[in-house]
Amino acid sequence: MNSRSDFRFDPRLDGLQVYLVGGAVRDARLGWPVGDRDWVVVGATPEAMRQRGFKPVGRDFPVFLHPDTHEEYALARTERKQGHGYTGFEIHASPDVTLEEDLARRDFTINAMAETPAGELIDPYGGAADLEARQLKHVSSAFIEDPLRVLRAARFLARYRHLGFAIAPETQRLMRQLTEAGEIGYLVAERVWTETQKALGEIDPAAYFETLNDCGALAVLMPPLATEALPQALARLDALPEMDEPALWRWARLGEHLDDDGQAALNGRVKAPNAYRDAMRLAALSRQLRQVLGDERPDVDMDRASAIMAWLDAIDAWRRPERVAPLLALIAHDDGGLADDLALGWRLAAQILPQALLDEGFRGPQLGQELARRREETIREALETL
């Protein structure tokens, strides 16, 4: 399958050895939608690229944007490990670097394939065979030089496991070796979050966390998740209704069982954005409501209307009404009856507005107290009619 069937002769590329590489080649052969296309240029210099109108954008190695398509063209390069983590590399880019040498530095064989302008496959490391075998396999032992590849392996499995993919046993061994050597600890939180957020948006996000847990990386990167509660937390990733921002709410469900300290520790370790932290807190409050009004907390005797009112207050529903709908959707997936009660109570209580009480003469603290009392009473009366 030619992943660039729309290729047209480009005079800017005349005389250059240009190859399509990476994800576009891989996904076209999987029948997967092809997104961004990346190119490698062999035998050229930065000056030659600039003379042809390409704009340099790479900080650590020569990468250029095509002036018309804005696609990335990188000069062929090699990498040599110099320090810890995923940034400790010495980059060598020059006209004498071959395509095979450039492909050798890539993580997995399925990402180390290239195509010529005519669509001819160049596959020196057996990526096509591993695609056929549904196998994620490292290109070389240099895999252990970059701990980020552990996260990438987990993320690719989250994307492709539903197609039958698995990580090759020899690659799993190298992932464990990276963890045991302490290299995982050198990954910066922002990079961990980038990979995690992408994985949360994949078809099978549980595969990501399972893979990290299996090789020991989860205990290093996200210790609050690496507990006996992980299987139940991962099961909740599938218990998600159709809703906007699925990655955000998957993260929320993943940590909804944690207490405040656990959530703070988890979100702090990966530097999760505020929206993700808030969603996890709100999901935890909703879980607590299910426990209080369900069978999980028989030690708690709380009036149903009071509990619903307390939940609406806790999620700040009166000032942030947009929070209610997604949380009701989450609750409905686990307890449809409770979600119905919440929806009814919210709809009626939200109709009681401060202005009406102001017109009756309520002011100051008495206004807030009376507003809360009437709203809760409205919820109670509505529940009694069901």
Distance, CA of 55 to CA of 68 (rounded, Å): 10
- The residue-averaged pLDDT of 366-370 equals 94
Model confidence at 22: pLDDT above 60: yes
Express as a percent the part of the chain with pLDDT over 70. Answer: 92
Q: What is the pTM of this model?
A: 0.88
Q: What is the pLDDT of residues 147-172, one digit of tens each?
A: 999 999 999 999 999 999 999 999 99
* 72-75: strand order across its sheet: 55-56, 63-65, 72-75, 38-42, 17-21, 114-115, 121-122
Greatest mean pLDDT range, 30-39, 82-91, 219-228, 290-299: 219-228
What is the mean predicted confidence (pLDDT) over 81-99? Answer: 71
Task: Identify any residues that bridge with 73 across adjacent strands, giving them in sequence order.
Answer: 39, 64
Q: Is 217 exposed, middle or buried (0-12, 13-18, 19+ CB in 10 A)?
A: buried
Give, in order, the Cα–Cα distances in Å from 190 to each of 48, 152, 179, 194. Answer: 35, 14, 19, 6
CA distance 240 to 233: 12
Banded pLDDT at 384 (limits 50, 70, 90): confident
Burial class for 370, CB neighbours closer than 10 Å (0-12, 13-18, 19+): middle
Look at the block and give the residue holding tokens 């804005």: 70
Residues of the chain with CATH 3.30.460.10: 1-133
Confidence grade of residue 301 (pLDDT, cut at 50, 70, 90): very low
Given a cut of 50, whether residue 347 has pLDDT beyond it is yes
pLDDT bucket at 29, cuts 50 / 70 / 90: very high
Are β-strands 77-81 and 72-75 bridged in parallel, bridged antiparallel, or unpaired?
unpaired
What residues contact 256, with CB distance under 8 A and at least 6 apart? 236, 280, 283, 284, 286, 287
Alpha carbon dihedral 150, 154, 159, 164, in 10-degree steps, equals: 110
Q: Which CATH number fits domain 1-133: 3.40.50.300, 3.40.50.10800, 3.40.50.970, 3.30.460.10?
A: 3.30.460.10
Locus of tokens 């949360």: 200
pLDDT of 83 higher than 80: no
- Asked whether the predicted pLDDT for residue 78 surpasses 50, the reply is yes
